[in-house]
Structure 1
Amino acid sequence: MRRFLTAALAALFFGVPAAAQAEEASSLTTLMTAYEARGWEGVGRLNIGRSGMCTGALVAPDLVLTAAHCIYDRSGDLVAPNEIQFLAGWRNGRASAYRGVRRAIAHPSYEYTGPESDLRVANDIALLKLDSPIRLANVQPFATADRPRKGSSVGVVSYAHDRADTPSLQEVCHVLARQSGSLILSCDVDFGSSGAPIFTEVAGEPRIVSVVSAKAMIRGRPVSIGTNLERPLAELMEMMNTPGTASAVAVTTARRVVPGRIGSGLTGGGGGLNSGGGAKFLKP
């Protein structure tokens, strides 16, 4: 599977029109001031357990979207919801809102460890139910949109291990390829960026089209891997509204995984797709 995945991604990458490959992505902009961060306060840092970190985004006043692998610990078990905190708009030591997490649900088709596959990445999403809704004028949930086409321009707002206290915006990066629901992107991500929202612009407003699952290398070029969103998110929303079913699925998922290292992400051999791992990281 690893060799197949490597070959498939490389083939898709080199199938992108030369003009799209040559078009440069914009650099990361650190959102240092309240003015620069305005409109992005719905993106926040997730503190997970004692030292884990990911990025998440509001999709409802009490729901945060992130990557599924963010809510697993190193033993392959789901992290207890009360060990997760969402810091909306976290910037320079302060957040616009602080919330605990009451429930955390990973997509049932995602497995934290096991054979690397595009299906695993496509379903690498989770929903977190906050302990109380965030109802602030400057912290608004984001709507979603359909998966963008190859060559489309997208953007991403994320935290990372080397910029954990301030979010960064990459206003323009590109969809290099689509595969079985996953997106291969030119966006700049690093450890801590897992779960970061990938945006497209619709009628002048940012809408989430994917979340960051992993980083990788394809023929020496760094890329990021985004998840599927449309059907998996709809399924998670339905599960969240059915407490008994959601809880049962979460427990089943936790029990059937095999322990492995945090953020295994995509790996490959033969000089093709090399492991960058999922972007969850442990603070030194």
Structure 2
Amino acid sequence: MKNWIKAFALALMPMAVLAQDSGLKSLDTTDAGRAWMAVGRLNIDGEAFCTATLIAQNQVLTAAHCLYDKATGQRIDLSKVEFLAAWRLGRASAYRAARRAVIHPDYFYDDETPTNRIGSDIALIELWQPIRSTSVIPFDTGDRPVRGQEVGVVSYAKDRAEAPSLQEVCSVVTGVSEVLVLSCDVEFGSSGAPVFAFEGERPRIVSVVAAKAEFNGEPVAIGTAVEVSLPLLRSELSAGRGFSGSDTGDSASRHIGARFVRP
């Protein structure tokens, strides 16, 4: 794979927008975004953001590199991480502080070979308070998609940081192990965005966006499959592993967890 993909990790700071011809649909209204309320913006220290998705009432899924400071290479203080469910035009359906996080044990932020990182570029964040809302329903996850399968991506990025957008039709170009090459066109801020398969009654998350790359001269997204990695992360979380922030639970929940605004 490393012979034909020029991959590089998405930066935490949003830098550019998706191409104009990528088939993006803005989810900036209640009706447009109703089916995607569990996708939210992951704010990091008030200066950067990624995309993340609620997969249980108290768990969100994102990319591992979102939890590292790009300048220092150190893990970010988790007390400075906040999940904004269905963030849209200055309001969120729920605001929650991050309590604890687990990163795939094979992930190393400072690995000099990006392709070595991508297959494990996935993290699970436990929230201080669960999100119990009839409008914010956690997404289930699904099996690793196959070559040629149609998928879609919901993400935030620069110049659309105030509302997510949906690219409903892209496809799996190829894949090796847990690394997927997708025809989806992503940009900075899309890190951690959910990649959905559309079989069944409701979309299921099959991957998270880890990087962008070039394939045959065309921009593509590189995703980390969730089928194998997510059970491992949940096991780690259940075992009490991972890391937490410097704030106490009481202060974090009072500061963020109590805020709730219905759309």
Do the structures match in fold with TM over 0.5? Answer: yes
Kept in 2, the 8 Å contact 1:26–1:173? The answer is: no
- Of the three residues 38, 41, 64, the one matched with 1:68 is 64
Equivalents in 2 of 1:78, 1:238: separation in Å?
21
CA contact (8 A) 2:22 2:185 kept: no
Contact 1:28 1:188 in 2 (8 A): no
- Unaligned residue ranges in structure 1 (runs of 5+): 11-24, 251-284
Q: Take 1:247 and 1:118, find their aligned partners in 2: how far apart are those partners?
A: 25
Once the two structures are superposed, residues 106-128 of structure 1 have per-residue CA deviations (whole angstroms, 9 ceiling, x without a partner) of 11101112231534101100011
- 1:65-92 CA distances to partner (integer Å, 9 max, x unpaired)? 0000000012111111110000000001
Shift of 1:105: 1.6
Q: Does residue 41 of the first structure (1) align with residue 37 of the second (2)?
A: yes
Count of matched residue pairs: 230
2:103–2:242 contact (8 Å) kept in structure 1: no
Q: What is the deviation of 1:134?
A: 0.1
Structure 2 Cα separation of the partners of residues 200 and 143 of structure 1: 11
Match of 1:27 among 12, 18, 23: 23
Aligned to 1:191, which of 188, 192, 196?
A: 188
Q: Which residue of 1 aligns with 2:94?
A: 97
Quote the residue 1:138 is aligned against.
Answer: 135
| Secondary structure class of the residue paired with 1:136 | coil
For the pair 1:180 / 2:177, whether they are aligned, the reply is yes
| Separation (CA, whole Å) in 2 of partners of 1:157 and 1:112 | 24
| C-alpha displacement of 1:179 | 1.3
Unpaired segments ≥5 residues, structure 2 = 7-20, 246-263
Q: Does 1:52 align with 2:48?
A: yes
TM-score, normalised with respect to structure 1? 0.77
User: Equivalences for 1:186-225 in 2 at 5 Å?
Assistant: 186-225=183-222
Does the CA contact (< 8 Å) of 2:100 and 2:242 recur in 1? no
Q: Distance in 1 between matches of 2:193 and 2:239?
A: 26
3-state secondary structure, aligned to 1:227: strand
> Hey, what's the Cα distance between the residues in 1 that align with 2:213 and 2:114?
14
* Aligned partners of 1:105 and 1:128 also within 8 Å: yes
Identity of aligned residues (%): 50
Task: Provide Cα deviations, 1:95-144, integer angstroms capped at 9, x if missing partner.
Answer: 01011111122111011122315341011000111110000000010000
TM-score (norm 2): 0.83
Higher helix share: 1
Rounded Cα–Cα distance in structure 2 between residues aligned with 1:112 and 1:197: 20
Deviation at 1:26, TM superposition (A): 6.0
Aligned residue in 1 for 2:117: 120
> Residue 248 of structure 2 aligns with which residue?
none
Q: Distance in 1 between matches of 2:68 and 2:185?
A: 24
Alignment of 1:168 with 2:165, yes or no, is yes
Pairwise CA distance, 1:188: 1.8
What is the DSSP-based 3-state SS (H/G/I as helix, E as strand, rest coil) of the residue aligned with 1:6? coil
Aligned partner of 1:70: which letter? C
- Partner of 1:280 in structure 2? none
How far apart, CA to CA, are the structure 2 residues paired with 1:221 and 1:105?
33
| Offset at residue 180 of structure 1 (A) | 2.2
Q: Distance in 2 between matches of 1:209 and 1:41?
A: 18
Q: Is the 8 A contact 2:55 2:140 kept in 1?
A: yes
The alpha-carbon distance between structure 1 residues 100 and 247, as it changes in their structure 2 partners (threshold 3 A), is closer
Q: For residues 106-117 of structure 1, what are the structure 2 equivalents within 5 Å?
A: 106-117=103-114
Give 1:159 shift: 0.2
Equivalent residue in structure 1 for 2:156, among 136, 154, 159: 159
